[in-house]
Amino acid sequence: MASYTDRLHEQIRARQTSALVGLDPRWNLLPDEIRAAAEAAGGTTSEIHARAFQSFCCELIDIVAPVVSCVKPQVAFFEQLGPAGILAVQHVIRYARRQGLIVIADAKRGDIGSTAEAYADAWLAGEDPDRAPFAADALTVNAYLGTDTLAPFVQAACERKAGLYILVRTSNPGAAAFQDRVTDSQKLFEGVADVVEALNTENWPDADYGSVGAVVGATWPEELQQLRQRMPHTPLLVPGYGSQGGTAADVAGAFDGSGLGGVINSSRGINFAHRKEPFATEFGEARWRDAVVAATQQMIEDLRSHTPAIS
């Protein structure tokens, strides 16, 4: 019976990459042809945008599924469109899974007791896509409310072979405001990290890695390296590569000696590759699909050159 992280690592070994493609659809950045097709089918503005988001994300999935291990839909951009957007993200998640991808729902949920349970039931399908309405393999979770509020998520992760990624050290410029506050010479994010690591050693005692991951931004390479050491049984989700400024060298610290233990996310840099150089000149908007292929390939090669080989 394979845990979430077992499934993830199997996929990473098969594809020989820990690249994770974020699905961050933004109406204003979509290729014209996607917007025009969605508009031609009519409906309300939300319905049109949701249709465009869905077709764009499914095309992205088709392009990247053969070469990467997982995708990470950003739920906020779908939620912004109301129920039409929610239907779209539901479809996108299922579509990605049918294409063989691991799906990490980036929803940053978190609440207490039975409410946390409800969020877990909404998003954590784990191994069986029919187990939850939003059929994700894993979910990002905010732990500010306390250790007890993680319990329902962890229980769901154990039972369903699902994964969690707890926010530890986020990639934004202001991440330090609360996360870096020092108590007894330990920063808050280090305290959260210790809780996460303990959840893994307690619940998956015989595994190299448990299934309670940690979100650690690529924009803080030193912290990333320290956290990999501090949480040897914790899989990492590393945002901030690419558009946010993190490089492949910056994320090298996320991995163990076998090149495992981390997934590296790029969203805008791949989704909208046709808008930035060198792809804008090479392909232009009309060939946005080729730009996605090239940007994904560039990321995979960049990671291969700067991080340990996967074995």
Nearer to a second copy, 37 or 145 (CB): 145
CA dihedral 277, 281, 285, 288 (to 10 degrees): -70
The window from 118-126, 251-259, 280-288, 302-310 that contacts a second copy (CB under 8 A) reads 118-126
Nearer to a second copy, 194 or 290 (CB): 194
Site for a second copy in 132-161 (CB under 8 A): 133-134, 142-149
The yes or no reply on residue 121 touching a second copy (CB under 8 A) is yes
The least CB distance from residue 172 to a second copy, in Å, is 4
CA–CA gap between residue 85 and residue 238 (Å, rounded): 26
Residues 283 and 297 sit within 8 Å (Cβ to Cβ): no
The least CB distance from residue 120 to a second copy, in Å, is 9
108 in active site? yes
Nearer to a second copy, 11 or 171 (CB): 171
CA–CA gap between residue 112 and residue 114 (Å, rounded): 6
The window from 33-41, 116-124, 247-255, 283-291 that contacts a second copy (CB under 8 A) reads 116-124
> What are the Cα distances from residue 173, in Å, to 113, 217, 219, 244?
31, 10, 8, 10
The least CB distance from residue 4 to a second copy, in Å, is 20
Nearer to a second copy, 65 or 175 (CB): 175
Site for a second copy in 35-64 (CB under 8 A): 46
Name which position in 4, 53, 56, 77 contacts a second copy (CB under 8 A): 77
Site for a second copy in 169-228 (CB under 8 A): 170-179, 181-183, 188, 191-192, 195
The yes or no reply on residue 257 touching a second copy (CB under 8 A) is no
Altogether, the residues listed in the chain come to a count of: 311
Nearer to a second copy, 272 or 283 (CB): 272
The single residue listed with the structure tokens 């097709």 is: 37
CA–CA gap between residue 255 and residue 188 (Å, rounded): 23
How do 163-169 and 212-216 pair as beta strands?
parallel
List, by residue number, the catalytic residues: 108
Residues that bind a second copy (CB under 8 A): 26, 46, 74, 76-77, 79-83, 85-87, 90, 108-116, 118-119, 121-122, 133-134, 142-149, 167, 170-179, 181-183, 188, 191-192, 195
